[in-house]
Chain A
Amino acid sequence: MLLEIIRFLRGSVDFTANGKFPERFMNITAKNGVNLWNPVPKKNAISASMYLSDYKKIRTLARKSRVKTRVTAKHGLPFIANRYKARTGLFAGAIFGIILCIFLSNFIWSVKISGTEEISNTYLESLLEDNGISVGVWKNNLDVDQIERNIQRKCGDIRWMSINITGSLVTVEVKETYKKPKYDSSKNPCNVKAVKDGVITRIQAYNGKPIVTKGSGVVNGQILVSGLDETKQGDMRYLRASAKVYADVKEQRTLTIPKKFTYSSATDNFVDRKNLKFLWLDFPCNLAFENYDNFVSTVHGENLFINDVVLPVGFKIQTDRELVITDCSVTKSRAEEIAKTDCILYEIFTKSKSSLTSRKISIKENKNDYVLTADYIFNENIAGQVDFDVTE
């Protein structure tokens, strides 16, 4: 293989040496250090191959051995170069292409992050960008060790990181820190206290001594189930009180809805602005002169992939969608509907663990707005474990 490459680069010729003693020609060439290969005997002739540079020298040797040489085939780069000698643009283009490849290989084309679980890739990309690693950056000036140290100092969740620059691809490997385990205080003695004001409807005490009874009103912070228990011998016993204490809890929410408001909505009119992306440059690909006074833009881009490597070439489409501003006025019945919807959403998502006992919505009309007040009574667990120190 290597020999073939050398022969291709140096150029070789297949020739026939005609004469009475072609063997003599072979001996003379061998003694003069000329390499011959593939010699094939013929009648009063021999055909062989040799380097182009050697063939130019053997004229005198051929005359000495009284043979006439004739080239039958030409191979290699010098002949190809000679064939395209007149087309200088081709050579210039090839040289320019090689120089361009060398120049572009000094930039970062893509950044690949691996090993992140809790830390977002976008955050890490922004940290890398702050430290000078992003697509289109000249890679030879980067001090990778310093960048690694800076990022680790800034982001405490990173236990270990490595930035590897392979060609034009930057691979960032990250190991996140182990989270500190939550302190298990399940063995400490504690009381169950009320976290809200309310009227107790049901007590489920699993451990501890209940202090309150059904129907009694409690305030926030009041002990519901005590962790102190007296034994038959008269000693005090410390317990980890555990209970579910359900109570009717009052809650009030206020919602203000303006009588008149404006909102923006997107219409069907839009303009796509296509750009060809190359490193950090954007080249517009279409002529979109249309402009809207009010619009919202969405940018969608895709890069070219080759063998799982993101290339810095791709398309970016910016879609400008026209917005229409609409004035809207709210009637009292509409305000009521809005309030009901809001209340239902609140009950479903915020108070999912509570059961609704009663709801009363009242609307007060002001000059510019409606004030909606929702009075709720929820039945929910108000018990909360609060540790205490045995020295208390």
Chain B
Amino acid sequence: MPKNKRTADKNERLPSPMFDMGTMPYIEMLGNRRITIEGSTGILLYDSENIKINTCKTVISFCGRGMTLRCISSSCVEIEGFVTDINFLS
């Protein structure tokens, strides 16, 4: 049988074992007024002063005032309000 096994090229760059970028959430902030999180797996808490978003690796907690969810989809959440604190909870 012919061998179809792929062999690594000498110059090919291997992914770093330290960071798996594919599973990391992508957070985009517009000042402290608007935050977009891509790679969310669900909303754990929704309150006007505290919103907790679950991602693959971690839970992100946003504290602030008058916070609302502008858009919710299966993998993306957009928060709007006055954010005062962001915590990464494992």
CB within 8 Å of B: which residues of A? 22-24, 26-27, 29-31, 33, 36-37, 39-41, 46
Contact = CB atoms under 8 A, between A and B. Distances in A.
Interface in B32-90: 42-48, 68-69, 71-74
Given A33-B74, A36-B72, A39-B68, A27 B46 contact: no
Pick from B42, B48, B69 the residue with the most CB of A within 10 Å: B69
A40 B68 contact: yes
13 contacts: A22-B46, A23-B45, A23-B46, A24-B42, A26-B46, A26-B69, A26-B72, A30-B72, A33-B74, A36-B72, A39-B68, A39-B69, A41-B48
Given A27-B43, A30-B73, A40-B68, 16 more contacts: A22-B46, A23-B43, A23-B44, A24-B42, A26-B43, A26-B46, A26-B69, A27-B42, A30-B72, A30-B74, A33-B74, A39-B46, A39-B68, A39-B72, A41-B46, A46-B46
A245 B73 CA distance: 106
B74 A31 contact: yes
Contacts of B74: 30-31, 33
Pick from A23, A24, A29, A37 the residue with the most CB of B within 10 Å: A23
A204 to B, nearest CB: 97
Interface of B: 42-48, 68-69, 71-74
A29 B46 CA distance: 15
Nearest to B47: A41
A61 to B, nearest CB: 13
A334 to B, nearest CB: 101
B23 to A, nearest CB: 18
B56 to A, nearest CB: 14
A146 B62 CA distance: 73
A36 B70 CA distance: 9
Contacts of A31: 74
> Which 5 A-B pairs give the minimum distances between C-beta atoms?
A27-B42, A23-B43, A30-B72, A41-B46, A31-B74
Contacts of B71: 37
Contacts of A26: 43, 46, 69, 72
Contacts of A22: 46
B55 to A, nearest CB: 13
A191 to B, nearest CB: 99
A21 to B, nearest CB: 9
Contacts of A27: 42-43
A23 B74 CA distance: 13
A31 B47 CA distance: 20
A36 B71 CA distance: 8
A88 B73 CA distance: 40
Contacts of A40: 68
A30 B71 CA distance: 10
Contacts of B69: 26, 39
Contacts of B46: 22-23, 26, 39, 41, 46
Nearest to B77: A30
Contacts of B44: 23
A40 B45 CA distance: 12
A12 to B, nearest CB: 16
